Amino acid sequence: MKPIVSILRSLLTKKSDTVGEFQFPIRYKLLLITSIVLLISMSGVIFLASYFFRKDSEIRVKENNIKINEILSLKVKSDLESIKKDVHITASAIFRSNQSANGIAKELFEEDPNFVFIGAYDSNLNPKFETVNDSFLDKYSYQKSEVRAVLKNIHPKLKKSFSGTTVIWNISPFFRNPILCISFPLSETTNTQTILVTLVKLDSLLDAFQTSGPVETFLIGEDGSVLAHPDAKVVLFGVQLNDLPIVERMKKSTVDNGQFRYENKEGEFYLASFKKLGIGGVGVISQVRENKIFEEVNNIQKRNVYLLIVSLSLSFIVVYLFAKSLSTPILKIVDASEEIRRGNYHLNLQATTHDEIGTLTKSFVSMGKGLEEREKLKDSFGRFVNQDIAELAAKGKLSIGGKRKYCTIFFSDIRSFTAISEKLQPEEVVEFLNLYMTEMVKCVQETGGTVDKFIGDAIMATWGALRDHKEHAKASVETALRMREKLIEFNRNRGTIKKPLIKIGCGINTGYVIAGQIGSIDKMEYTVIGDSVNLASRVESFNKETHTDILITESTYQKVKSYFHIISMGEIEFKGKSKAQKVYAVLGKKSDHNAPKNLLELQELVGIEVPTKKAKK
């Protein structure tokens, strides 16, 4: 689309002396559109009012969050300090008295039935005393052994209290009720070798976090677990909110309060604030979804937009008549560009105006004709050369000269082609060759190969010469096996004089070649030359002697031996080679259980007839 953009830019920047040739210059139409834009800009006043209303609502929500946090934090801190105080008084009375711990603690359990358990432990977490609220056990069908088993599980968590800190932890997942565990030293100054542990029901705390408005409040522990929440199930399941941005901000903050706007995983934005209690690393968080607090703002904005649309509709009706003369030609050009993208360069497009759009239309039609001619040339060039070479040449990436490349060269040839040609008319020879070549070339292209040339009935192809190919040797052998399968299928309906059976031989070699445009100044072609090419051609011819259809050299064998069933055909002396060359016959893929197991099965599969004497030999 760059040519279109450049044409538009040149038309819109023409000087005034060229505008005279247009009856309706496009700039006059742009002036009309500009006037409409100015009218629409008046709506900015409405949106500014909505914006300031929104900001005011946001400030009020933030202030409300702070107030809620302050009130709840005072309430929660007071409740926690009261719990610690009651437990401390009860424990001190137990240590001073000769009465049983159960008898003294019973008074506390009767006064506040939310207490479930009180215990004291030494530095080795051995219990100095443990007492459980029997009323709680009877009411909710718990056993004392269950409570003590839970406490043993959380012993590692309680060790932190020996350093003089208070540990607050949600152990509701171990029970069927929301319960809080609080542990703290008996004395924060004189005796940190004894800690007090209590289990308390969270009923009163949960009631404090029940809100009817859009604000959501909850209590977060030092480890990110939810200690109190409007939804009791969140507490019962022991949900942790460490991944919530406001929780992460609170844990990292060096101050005891703060505000934060964040986006959750579902893409919803929240306005949130936190307040640390200064006890056990606990903090209160309040948050509200933006779409809730700005719901009324959005409604007002929508009503204003509706009023604006009604007021501007009459203006748009008048403008429509003028805009139509501008938009219709542009839309036709857009449709024409889509046709060009699909490959249809013959455009049924005519200029209907005498302005810049009309000139653009004529230029667009001219451009389509040019692209059509170039595509036809490219298509014709690709048929007579190679599609990959044609594309590289069209992009200017095909340099003159040769480069040293390590690649795999492939030759195939039809057996007894001269005898077949003698029995057919020339037209019949060309017809069956085209059918044969079409199937074979598909095999080459499907594996990333490049057909170098056709030499009569022979095919020469390469892998890794024109384009880099990591497994060019494997791809070449894979192509030969595909050709074998295609040829077996091709021969199923053949076997007459007019449709003779086709048998081929394939030769493959891997090595260094010179690849590039080779020829004279008047005519050049992209090909590969070198000793490796000659060896591949001679190996292909040797199929006649070995009564095989696919032969590969030692260099190819080393690359593909782990993928294919291959048998050695010995060392062969080839013309032009000072040393004998090892040659191998390819039976099939190792993953193919139906592949020939030996040379005899291969010959039966592809229909190679072996003379009796040679077969015995």
20 band by pLDDT with thresholds 50, 70 and 90: very low
Q: What confidence score (pLDDT) does residue 22 get?
A: 45
How far is 211 from 206, CA to CA, in rounded Å? Answer: 10
CA-only gyration radius of the chain, Å: 44
pLDDT above 90 for 107: no
Pairing of strands 550-553, 504-519: parallel
Q: What confidence score (pLDDT) does residue 593 get?
A: 87
7 band by pLDDT with thresholds 50, 70 and 90: very low
- Residues 276-322: tens digit of each pLDDT: 888 888 888 888 888 877 777 777 777 777 776 776 666 656 666 66
Closest by alpha carbon to 381, among 365, 364, 398?
398
Closest by alpha carbon to 359, among 25, 593, 603, 50?
25
Answer whether 19's CB lies under 8 Å from 25's CB: yes
Average pLDDT, the chain: 80
Q: What confidence score (pLDDT) does residue 268 get?
A: 85
pLDDT above 90 for 408: yes
Q: DSSP letters of 462-482?
A: EESSSS--TTHHHHHHHHHHH
- Residues 446-457: tens digit of each pLDDT: 998 988 888 888
- Tokens describing residue 345: 């360069």
Contacts of 30 (CB under 8 A, 6+ apart): none
299 vs 42, higher pLDDT: 299
What does each C-alpha distance from 237 to 96, 171, 174, 179, 228 come to in angstroms?
39, 9, 9, 11, 12
Contacts of 266 (CB under 8 A, 6+ apart): none
The burial of 603, by beta-carbon neighbours within 10 Å (0-12 exposed, 13-18 middle, 19 or more buried), is given as middle
pLDDT above 50 for 617: no
pLDDT above 90 for 251: no
Q: What confidence score (pLDDT) does residue 508 get?
A: 95
- Tokens describing residue 16: 């005034």
Average pLDDT over residues 56-61: 78
**CA 421, 426, 432, 436: dihedral to nearest 10 degrees?**
70
How far is 115 from 105, CA to CA, in rounded Å? Answer: 10
Average pLDDT over residues 128-147: 86
Q: What confidence score (pLDDT) does residue 345 get?
A: 65
- Residues 530-586: tens digit of each pLDDT: 899 999 999 999 988 889 999 999 999 999 999 999 999 988 888 877 788 899 999
Helix or strand (DSSP H, E) at 222: none
pLDDT above 50 for 271: yes
- Residues 391-400: tens digit of each pLDDT: 666 565 666 6
Q: DSSP letters of 381-426?
A: HHHHS-HHHHHHHHTT---BEEEEEEEEEEEEEETTHHHHHHTS-H
- Residues 447-499: tens digit of each pLDDT: 989 888 888 889 999 998 888 888 999 999 999 999 999 988 888 888 777 78
pLDDT above 50 for 1: no
How far is 138 from 140, CA to CA, in rounded Å? Answer: 6
pLDDT above 50 for 13: no
pLDDT above 50 for 159: yes
Answer whether 566's CB lies under 8 Å from 551's CB: no
228 vs 330, higher pLDDT: 228
The domains located in the chain, with CATH, are 82-201 (3.30.450), 220-305 (3.30.450), 397-616 (3.30.70.1230)
4 band by pLDDT with thresholds 50, 70 and 90: very low
pLDDT above 80 for 587: yes
14 vs 194, higher pLDDT: 194
Q: What confidence score (pLDDT) does residue 6 get?
A: 45
How far is 586 from 595, CA to CA, in rounded Å? Answer: 10
pLDDT above 70 for 362: yes
Best-predicted range by mean pLDDT (305-309, 408-412, 419-423, 517-521): 408-412
The residue type at 388:
D
- 131-159 burial string, b = 16+ CB within 10 Å, else e? bbbeebbeeeebeeeebeebbeebeeebe
374 band by pLDDT with thresholds 50, 70 and 90: low
Give the distance, in angstroms, between the CA of residue 566 and the centroid of all CA atoms in the same chain: 41
